[in-house]
Amino acid sequence: METVLEVRNLQKSYGATEAVRGVSFELRRGEIFGMVGPNGAGKTTAIECLEGLRRPTSGDVRVLGLDPQTAGPALLERLGLQLQQSAIPDRMKVWEALDLFASFYEKSTDWRALAESLGLAEKFNAYFKNLSGGQKQRVFIALALIHDPEVVFLDEISTGLDPQARRAIWDLIFKIREQGKSVFLTTHFMDEAQTLCDRVAIMDHGRIIALDSPNALIQQNRGGERVELELEHPGADVGFLSAIPGVASVTRDGKRVEVRGVGGRLVSAVVRALDANQIDYYNVSSARATLEDVFLKLTGRALRD
Ligand SMILES: Nc1ncnc2c1ncn2[C@@H]1O[C@H](COP(=O)(O)OP(=O)(O)OP(=O)(O)O)[C@@H](O)[C@H]1O
Ligand SMILES: [Mg+2]
């Protein structure tokens, strides 16, 4: 598959702060690639180095075959950028912003249809300062897509959006992929990353600590399934659960038991083993592990920064 973006050993320091400590990956044509990570992990720094907005301390970045530091406006014509922090003058109306941004590019799409698909039709005449947080975010997404770019960068796409707007944006992103374009996004919503992304990089402390498809990350890191139950008798010995084929871990917290493992029949195997050993239990539930489980396992649960 064709590569549209290539990063080799990207590093970026701000004085003594090493925000990005050597990351390498590529983005393929027609791929939705997500970067996730705790606050301060270095996602915005990395994405803005790819966009040419920040100068890397070292490393090699190629976007559509060009170095974004030196490529100039010809490259920007082909990239769509939505930044984590953006601003439009308060006294500018929504339609004026869309019209103005469209005029910056040689190629432009029908911005009305685009903005309408993002639910902005009724706000064309509103001043930017009078939009709600989520409406502002929709404007920024429309501005990023207004010139039909080949590679789209979205830093925190759905922050502040209501569920309808999130879905509308997911649909838009899938449409962009259908057209053979590529999307690089960051998000704090693991369900979003799991649903949208072909591949996800988990970033922590400036490094990529895992990179694969969401399913592969889940399989590699947590086993596929989780079964939870409560024991009638907190003292009951359930050591035999660890011996069930496919079980990766059994954790006990008082009368609560959590079994993780692979294989679609984990829950029935657990229940059969409990019955065979005459252990009383209740509240059995079973769920597939999610990207959020993987994220918390790999980056820890403690709050940082
Ligand atoms: N312009 C700057 N000057 C100095 N330090 C910076 C600057 N921008 C970012 N940093 C620092 O670099 C580190 C990475 O920040 P960055 O914004 O890239 O993180 P992030 O992963 O995007 O976080 P978030 O999820 O909160 O958006 C942080 O420690 C931050 O304080
Ligand atoms: Mg950020």
pLDDT tens digits for range 82-119: 988 888 898 999 999 999 999 989 887 889 999 998 88
pLDDT tens digits for range 171-193: 889 989 998 999 999 999 999 99
**Does ligand 1 have an atom closer than 6 angstroms to the CB of 19?**
yes
* 32 C-alpha to ligand 2 centroid (Å): 18
- Where residue 301 falls among pLDDT bands split at 50, 70, 90? low
pLDDT tens digits for range 6-19: 999 999 999 999 99
* 160 C-alpha to ligand 1 centroid (Å): 20
Question: Best of 13, 14, 54 to mutate for ligand 1, by most ligand atoms within 8 A of CB?
Answer: 14
Among protein residues, the one with the nearest Cα to ligand 1's atom 18 is 42
What the chain holds in terms of domains, given with CATH numbers, is: 3-218 (3.40.50.300), 224-288 (3.30.70.980)
- Give CA separation, 165 vs 125, 141, 145, 158, in Å: 20, 11, 16, 8
Among protein residues, the one with the nearest Cα to ligand 1's atom 28 is 40
- pLDDT given for residue 210 in this prediction: 96
- pLDDT given for residue 304 in this prediction: 58
- The mean pLDDT of the chain is 92
**Does ligand 1 have an atom closer than 6 angstroms to the CB of 54?**
no
**Residue 47 in contact with residue 61, Cβ under 8 Å?**
no
